[in-house]
Amino acid sequence: MIYPNGSMALRDVSLEVARGECLAILGTSGSGKTTLLKMVNRLLDPTAGEVVVGGRPTIAWDPIRLRRSIGYVIQEVGLMPHLDVLANVGLVPRILGMSRPERAGRAEEMLRLVGLDPSRFGRLRPHQLSGGQRQRVGVARALA
| Structure confidence by residue, pLDDT tens digits, 61-72 | 998 888 888 876
Same domain? 49 vs 95? no
Short-list 136, 35, 23, 32, CA closest to 89: 136
Residue span of the structural domain in which 61 resides: 1-72
Q: What is the mean pLDDT of residues 115-141?
A: 91
Please list, in sequence order, all residues whose beta carbon lies within 8 angstroms of the beta carbon of residue 105, skipping any fewer than 6 positions away: none
Per the structure, the count of domains in the chain is 2
Domain match, 34 and 62 both: yes
Report how far Cα 69 is from the mean position of its chain's Cα atoms.
10
Distance CA 76, CA 37 (A): 14
Based on the fold, state whether residues 5 and 65 are members of the same structural domain: yes
Task: Let me know if residue 79 belongs to a domain.
Answer: no
pLDDT averaged over the chain? 86
pTM, two decimal places: 0.55
Whether residue 78 is contained in a domain is answered as: no
pLDDT of residue 69: 81
* CA pair distance 91, 53, nearest whole angstrom: 24
> How large is the average pLDDT for residues 102-127?
95
Clarify whether residues 56 and 121 are in a common domain.
no
Contact 113, 140 (CB under 8 A): yes
**Residue 124 — pLDDT band, cuts 50, 70, 90?**
very high
Cα(124)–Cα(133) distance, integer angstroms? 11
Position 80 in a domain: no
Which distant-in-sequence residues (6+ apart) come within 8 Å of 18 by Cβ?
Answer: none
Contact (Cβ atoms closer than 8 angstroms) between residue 39 and residue 45 = yes
Indicate the residue among 40, 72, 104 that finishes a domain: 72
Is residue 1 situated within a structural domain? yes
Residues 2 and 68 in one domain: yes
Burial class (CB in 10 A: 0-12, 13-18, 19+), 107: buried
